[in-house]
Structure 1
Amino acid sequence: MLAIGSSIPNWIVARDSSIAPKYPPVGLQVYTLGFLLNAPGADTRSILKQIADIGIKEIETATGGNGLYYGQKPKVFAEMAKDTGLKWIGNHIGGLPRTPAASATSTAARPRSRNLRDNIQEIVDDAAEGGCSWVICSSSAISTLDEIKRTAEVFVKAGDLAEQNNMRFAYHNHQSEFDQIEGVTAFDYVLTNTDKKKVFMELDLAWATAAGQDPVALFKKYPGRFPLWHVKDLDKTTGRPCPVGTGKVDFKHIFTNSKLSGVEHTFIEQDGAKNIDDPASSVQWLKNNIYK
């Protein structure tokens, strides 16, 4: 584990004169296989074994139909992952809740999902119980400048609490973080109004590309702030997520310049994957074209 705030990943540095791996292990955001893990009666352990069998080494989790950690307690889920040869790096959780739209049927009485603003201590405690090294915000309300500012305030608290528990905090982007709102973007506001040693980004390479951003230019603008990546591709025609290497994201350009980003963990993600063959083909493409 790197010291808090370090921008040089441990996989870059050779130890005992040996040659260090060129890139981090291939990981998976298991949201990709939510249709399996969230199915009624899903055999979590068996599905994790299938994930390991396609060459995945590290995983992230996300809330789904079976609840947090796919119906398991954090420690139990962590043991399942470890037993199948997987390392559980972090879990996605929402940030600042969006204000529900007014409607004839009030949503005020409905229980609100756990989120960083309201449940940060519980979320960090769960991550610690599972042995995770990262607390990750999956998305947050950022449609107004006020929401952007309040989101940044929540992230400051999350970064502080994660550090106190020997973990780190990161924010996962979509396209909307790059929209101009009153002359600023949520992406720039968060990165320039939080401590670079406590608040990091999990850069979704596909959504950044879809927003017209060059990930390498972002690395240069904010060096060391991107220790986590979502390795996602987008179909050249439809713009929808597709297996890595079959779409329009320039992964060779991005990986070649990865050192500047401070990347430590990379997670394949494919929204709408139809079966485990989709991430399996992404793993194979990366091994053949990037990790060779």
Structure 2
Amino acid sequence: MLGLGAALFPYELAARSLDRAKLSKFGLQLYSVKEEMAKDAAGTMRKLAGFGYKQFEGFDGGKGILWGMQPAECKSLLSEIGVDFISSHANVFKDLDAQAEQAAAVGMKYLICPYIGAQKSVDEWKKVADKFNAAGETLKSHGVKFAYHNHDYTFKMLDGQLPQDILMENTDADLVDFELDMYWAFVAGYDPLEYIARFPGRFKLCHVKDAEAAGSNAHDRGVLLGSGEMAYADIIKKSKKYGMKYFVVEQERFVGTNPMEAAEKNAAYLAKLKV
């Protein structure tokens, strides 16, 4: 029996390695279904919860970060459907205190700057970093944290420096976190995992979106999760070691599907993924 056990041991180890844990929680950036949110925010959120999303990341669709709902109403809906509103993209340079109060009231952890635009010089990027620190200071007083979501322009060299590096190195880690859009880093030619590893603890959120084989336009490579080049089982597992906490699906390009179908298929992919 001992001999048999010893002989089977390597196979047991192999079986255990194949039985990797599933991702217990993942989110959706509601911009992915912006038309549906504009028509019926509460109804759309209920449907998305039914797909398996346990976290939402919002955006200001013209009705504020709570889509016209009062904090108590929004919090009640979230409790009913079993979803945490972890963050929202927002205009962090206008009415930030008021937005922070709403965010805190429904339990959001982050307000996120979704876009700043390419700057013309290194000095201008350093000024942006100063603005991020100031916004982070304001949010800190409300118990909410600031984060910045990148596009590909922060991964394009400028005067011998990478703008994303400038932001990382000139922001206060106690005030500013980052949401890595893995797609935009990837199509700009950077390995998302390698970049996260350079700045452990700074990336707490990420956008999970897949990219098909290189094309002429980086903006037109988005595909459903699992049908592109990005090995998300490995990316998600290893990024956790460097402090990544929130994995947020975002879909902006729809080929042969529609936004709600894409949201459902992406949720099914992540629910089965072994990480």
TM-score range, shorter chain: 0.7 to 0.9
Q: Which amino acid aligns with 2:139?
A: A
What is the match of residue 136 of structure 1?
112
What is the match of residue 107 of structure 1?
none
2:93 corresponds to 1:57: no
Cα distance in 2 for partners of 1:120, 1:66 equals 15
Q: In structure 2, do the counterparts of structure 1 residues 181 and 269 end up closer, same or farther at CA, with 3 Å as the change threshold?
A: same
What is the match of residue 164 of structure 1?
141
What is the match of residue 99 of structure 1?
none
SS of aligned partner of 1:290: coil
Q: CA deviation at 1:222?
A: 0.3
2:270 corresponds to 1:290: no
Structure with more of its chain in helix, by fraction: 2
Q: Which amino acid aligns with 2:271?
A: K
Cα distance in 2 for partners of 1:56, 1:118 equals 30
Q: CA deviation at 1:125?
A: 2.2
Q: CA deviation at 1:195?
A: 1.4
Cα distance in 2 for partners of 1:191, 1:206 equals 19
Q: In structure 2, do the counterparts of structure 1 residues 237 and 141 end up closer, same or farther at CA, with 3 Å as the change threshold?
A: closer
What is the match of residue 150 of structure 1?
127
Residues 205-216 of structure 1: pairs in structure 2 closer than 5 A: 205-216=182-193
Cα distance in 1 for partners of 2:86, 2:150 equals 18
2:224–2:266 contact (8 Å) kept in structure 1: yes
SS of aligned partner of 2:165: helix
* Larger Rg computed on CA atoms: 2
What is the match of residue 88 of structure 2?
91
Q: Pick from 249, 253, 273 the counterpart of residue 230 of structure 2.
A: 249
2:124 corresponds to 1:176: no
Deviating beyond 4 angstroms after TM superposition, the runs of 4 or more aligned structure 1 residues are 21-24
SS of aligned partner of 1:121: helix
Alpha-carbon displacement from aligned partner over 1:58-95 (angstroms, at most 9, x marks no partner): 000012255543232344333322222111011101xx
Cα distance in 1 for partners of 2:116, 2:172 equals 18
Cα distance in 1 for partners of 2:42, 2:95 equals 28
Q: Pick from 45, 48, 54 the counterpart of residue 45 of structure 2.
A: 48
SS of aligned partner of 1:256: helix
Query: How many residue pairs align between the two structures?
Result: 247
Cα distance in 1 for partners of 2:57, 2:172 equals 24
TM-score, normalised to structure 1's length? 0.78
What is the percent sequence identity of the aligned residues? 29
1:28–1:269 contact (8 Å) kept in structure 2: yes
2:174 corresponds to 1:193: no
Two-structure CA RMSD over aligned residues (Å)? 2.0
Q: CA deviation at 1:170?
A: 1.0
The runs of 5 or more residues in structure 1 that have no matched partner are 1-20, 94-114
Q: Which amino acid aligns with 1:35?
A: E
What is the match of residue 221 of structure 2?
240
SS of aligned partner of 1:69: coil
